[in-house]
Amino acid sequence: MKKLVINNNVRKYRFLKDEMTQQDLAKELGVSRQTIVAIEKGKYSPSLELAFKLARVFEMKIDDLFFVEE
């Protein structure tokens, strides 16, 4: 089965949320800033729990934030 490439709009919605910094987002989620950097660059797919936390911070559905790249 072909591996799915999961991408996200975290960077875009972070800027739309009063230009929130990576540091602030990391603090709110209880992770390191490097983890936010890795998620934004697509180098790390977060756990379901962290993905839901991210969606909650940006007040949107999880599939608006994360999507499968064809």
Neighbours of 54 (CB within 10 A): 24
Interface with other proteins, residue 20, by CB under 8 A: no
CB of 56 to other proteins, least distance (A): 16
CA 46 and chain centroid, separation = 8
Interface with other proteins, residue 10, by CB under 8 A: no
Stretch that binds other proteins, among 2-10, 11-19, 27-35, 60-68 (CB under 8 A): 27-35
Instruction: Name the one residue in this structure whose structure tokens are 């390191």.
Output: 32
Contacts with other proteins by CB under 8 A: the residue count is: 17
